[in-house]
Amino acid sequence: MITAERKPLEEIIEYVRPFGKILLVGCNECVTVCSAGGRKEVGLLSSALQMAFMKEGKMLEIKEMTLERQCDPEYVEELSGHINQVDAVLSMACGCGVQEIAQRYREKPVFPAVNTKFMGASERQGVWSERCQGCGNCLLGLTGGICPVARCSKRLLNGPCGGSTKGKCEINPEIDCAWQLIWDRLKALGQEERYSDIIPAKDWRPSRDGGPRKIIREDLAS
């Protein structure tokens, strides 16, 4: 899933300060799962903003909505009956959702209330870790299902770098060395010999370095 964290309240306040009435929009997908921008967080942020402005003697009217998916035009259309009644939109979705609203409602200012972080997985309650950088040409079949692009601090495709200590990364001792994890996994699979296979230089053209990407499925496209 895409992970996100709510922006500091002070930053959000400055975005909405010029306005009298805003639409605060959450999303029911990834940001709900990582507790950053779902219905509950919309309610909490709404209360926090109203309290902050009341302390300043200012009124801010907030209409709250949470869409099924903010990155999907079908659901973003649901805002059309409300958008003209507000001065601005504050989105609690990832950057994809914010941009979808900005594209559909060009005349309305739209601001992000969360910082979009990475594609990750839940490690345990309240902890999410980066797992994939969407490189466009997945290598997991070569590395025992552990991603060296996202999980090695140096993005080494043929590691380790030699700096790891007791299985931890030399760049950040808080995290496991990705190449230690790859070794452990290959060993568990009984495929230790694959550790010495050289992974060829990666073709980065399908990654973000080639500019914004698109997936076009001819069988689905209209």
For binding to ligand SF4 (CB under 6 A), which residues are involved?
Answer: 132-135, 138-140, 147, 149-150, 152-154, 156, 159-161, 163-164, 169-171, 177-179
Shortest Cβ distance from residue 214 to ligand SF4 (Å)? Answer: 16
Shortest Cβ distance from residue 30 to ligand SF4 (Å)? Answer: 16
Nearer to ligand SF4, 83 or 132 (CB): 132
Shortest Cβ distance from residue 201 to ligand SF4 (Å)? Answer: 14
Shortest Cβ distance from residue 29 to ligand SF4 (Å)? Answer: 19
Shortest Cβ distance from residue 212 to ligand SF4 (Å)? Answer: 17
Nearer to ligand SF4, 17 or 205 (CB): 205
Nearer to ligand SF4, 47 or 122 (CB): 122
Nearer to ligand SF4, 88 or 152 (CB): 152
Nearer to ligand SF4, 96 or 161 (CB): 161
Q: For every residue of the chain, which 3-state class applies, written as one string?
A: CEEEEECCHHHHHHHHCCCCEEEEEEECCHHHHCCCCCHHHHHHHHHHHHHHHHHCCCCCEEEEEEECCCCCHHHHHHHCCCHHHCCEEEECCCHHHHHHHHHHCCCCCEEECEEEEEEEEEEECCEEEEEECCCCCCCCCCCCCCCHHHHCCCCCCCCCCCCCECCECCCCCCCECHHHHHHHHHHHCCCHHHHHCCCCCCCCCCCHHHCCCCCCCCCCCC
User: Going by C-beta distance under 8 Å and a sequence separation of 6 or more, which residues neighbour residue 167?
Assistant: 176, 177, 180
